[in-house]
Amino acid sequence: MKIINATLRKTPGLHTITCEGAQISAITLQSAHIPAQAGDIDARGQLLIAPFVEPHIHLDAALTAGQPEWNLSGTLFEGIERWAQRKETITHEDTKLRAHATIRMLAEHGIQHVRTHVDVTDPTLAALRAIIEVRDEARHLIDLQIVAFPQEGIESYAGGRELMTLAVELGADVVGGIPHFENTREQGVSSIKFLMDLAERTGCLVDVHCDETDDPHSRFLEVLAEEARVRGMGSRVTASHTTAMGSYDNAYCSKLFRLLKASKINFVSCPTESIHLQGRFDTFPKRRGVTRVAEIDRAGMNVCFGQDSIKDPWYPLGNGNILRVLDAGLHICHMMGFEDLARSLDLVTDNSARTLNLGEGYGIAVGRPANLVVLDAESDYEAVRRQAKARVSIRAGKVLMTRVPEQVEFS
């Protein structure tokens, strides 16, 4: 299969990408626009990108908003309470149906790599068992990484440590945590030591919900980063949310950044979710409740954007379109200078792939998997401005999905 007349990010000219079997076998620069032969996919000068990546979502809770009650305060904590109510009624089938429906929404938007957190603070681990099956069943659409996520705490929840260990034995790929939600600061710290030990022992990656609060005294990020640095695990570790960093004073943050850089950990921000859940205890002026995305990026560290929720107890909107989150994130994080817009897709492609440790399994290069998306735009700038849709999604060298862009006719 050939994709012709493709614009590649950060590379001038039109290109032909040839796929053999499930791999990219050649990338050639064209001297001019070429006509399509039967069987070719004509990108018509538009962007051909490696698939979008969703680095942070909660598939087990997706599509449950309002069941049985709506989150009326809009806080993280009421979200956790509402979810605890819904969690009592989840079943294997209900979880699988909602997860599959949500994965389809992601795939429709050109996403082929997903990391989902799954709540393991449930003695039956029902959601985890269901999502492990979904990981196999949905392989034709996406690659799925599963995080063992202790929503109600590792130390503060009865049997929390045992449930985390069992989740990894059952097949979770990534170890999670929620230190800011543990009952005490000491438990927050010990939860991080525990989860880092578990990951180091089992070879799992790490992705911690870390300091998801406006409390400027929530300082678990330094603990996570130091554990990662000392163990040499930084590139395998991710700090998600870190919204408290938006409230840290600059003197502390400048010291913290030295450690963060030395640790080499990754960051995920979920700007639509954070602007909704945070700032809830402020009057005016009201904080944005989002981590320092531009500053992390400028310091040379790896940061990406995720959706976090689709219609769940924490966040009622969302539709699978990661460009919606990119658009909002660029606004919220003051990243609309031309240079940021011109490379904005980094935040939802390459940077996220690095967070997920996809390595040679991702990217447009000879020998890599033929997973490719033609976007309905010619540049990063236009893709985010126009909320460009995926026109064609190719997976393992086969067309997975095509979309005919909408046509508007004035009379």
Q: Which of the choices Fe ion, ligand 17E, none does residue 76 contact, using the CB cut-off of 5 to 8 A by kind?
A: ligand 17E
The contact pattern for ligand 17E, residues 71-110, with x = CB under 6 A and - = no contact, is -----x----------------------------------
58 binds ligand 17E (CB under 6 A): yes
Residue whose beta carbon is closest to ligand 17E? 314
314 binds ligand 17E (CB under 6 A): yes
Of 131 and 373, the one with the shorter C-beta distance to Fe ion is: 131
Q: Which H/E stretch holds residue 222?
A: helix 220-231
Of 276 and 395, the one with the shorter C-beta distance to Fe ion is: 276
Of 143 and 273, the one with the shorter C-beta distance to Fe ion is: 273
**Cα 258 from Cα 254, distance rounded (Å):** 7
Q: Which of the choices ligand 17E, Fe ion, none does residue 212 contact, using the CB cut-off of 5 to 8 A by kind?
A: ligand 17E
DSSP state of 312: B
Of 308 and 340, the one with the shorter C-beta distance to Fe ion is: 308
- Cβ atoms of 54 and 111 within 8 Å: the answer is yes
- Cβ atoms of 398 and 50 within 8 Å: the answer is no
**Cα 277 from Cα 211, distance rounded (Å):** 13
- How many residues touch ligand 17E under the rule CB under 6 A: the total is 10
Of 7 and 243, the one with the shorter C-beta distance to ligand 17E is: 243
308 binds ligand 17E (CB under 6 A): yes
Q: Applying CB under 5 A, which residues contact Fe ion?
A: 308
What is the Cα 300 distance to its own chain's centre? 19
DSSP string, 76-100: HHHHHHHHHHHHTT--HHHHHHHHH
Q: Which of the choices ligand 17E, Fe ion, none does residue 309 contact, using the CB cut-off of 5 to 8 A by kind?
A: ligand 17E
Strand order in the sheet with 302-305: 52-57, 111-119, 143-149, 174-175, 205-210, 237-241, 266-269, 302-305
Q: Is 212 a catalytic residue?
A: yes
276 binds ligand 17E (CB under 6 A): no
What is the Cα 270 distance to its own chain's centre? 8
Residue whose beta carbon is closest to Fe ion? 308
273 binds ligand 17E (CB under 6 A): yes
DSSP string, 237-267: EEEEE-GGGGTS-HHHHHHHHHHHHHHT-EE
Q: Which active-site residues does the annotation give?
A: 212
